[in-house]
Structure 1
Amino acid sequence: MAEPISTKSKILKQSNNCLKDSRTQLCKELVSEIEKLQLVVFDQNKFKCQSSLLGLQTEIIEAYFFNNSSNKRISLMIPFVIKNC
């Protein structure tokens, strides 16, 4: 049985939380959730959405691995995900 894919609004909310505190298990799981959603939108030929999701995923990975302890990290990609997805 396939696992359900998170909704766009849930992913956006979790992304904001991860950018504030990137060292959580939720952030690791979110990277996988975004990957699943990318595959879905790819199958629908929504390439702008897929690219925006990839950018958001990159921001989360950067926040996780290059955590500079800043709570003021702002996502540049969330507005593009909202617009393109």
Structure 2
Amino acid sequence: MAETIPTKSKILKQSSDCFKDSRTQICKELVSEIEKFQLVAFDQNKFKCQSSLLGLQTEIIEAYFFNNFSNEIISLMTPYVIKNC
């Protein structure tokens, strides 16, 4: 059975939701979804996209584990994902 690769718009929407409430199940699943998208970008030699996705993934992990540092987490990587992917 083939795996479904998430779209850029789905990842951006879910990451936006995740930054609003980083303790949801969506945030945990999103880390894996971004990983799938990274592998596709790697296979297509889109290294700027892959790097941008890695940065977004890092922000999501930080939001999940360090939620108490800020009530409003703003993604710095989202514009790079939009531009490079």
Band the TM-score falls in, shorter-chain normalisation: over 0.9
| Alpha-carbon distance in 2 for matches of 1:65, 1:12 | 20
2:14 corresponds to? 14
Structure 2, unaligned runs of 5 or more: none
The alignment yields a C-alpha RMSD, in angstroms, of: 1.0
Structure 1, unaligned runs of 5 or more: none
| Alpha-carbon distance in 1 for matches of 2:69, 2:20 | 9
Letter in 2 for 1:18: C
Letter in 1 for 2:43: D
TM-score by length of 1: 0.95
Query: What is the aligned-residue identity percentage?
Result: 85
- Per-residue deviation at 1:71? 3.5
| Alpha-carbon distance in 2 for matches of 1:20, 1:46 | 29
| Aligned 8 A contact 1:21 1:71 in 2 | no
The list of structure 1 runs, each at least 4 consecutive aligned residues, that deviate by more than 4 angstroms after superposition, is: none
Tell me, yes or no, if structure 1 residue 44 matches structure 2 residue 41: no
Q: 1:33 to 1:18 in 2, by over 3 A?
A: same
TM-score by length of 2: 0.95
Q: Name the SS of the counterpart of 1:74 in structure 2.
A: coil
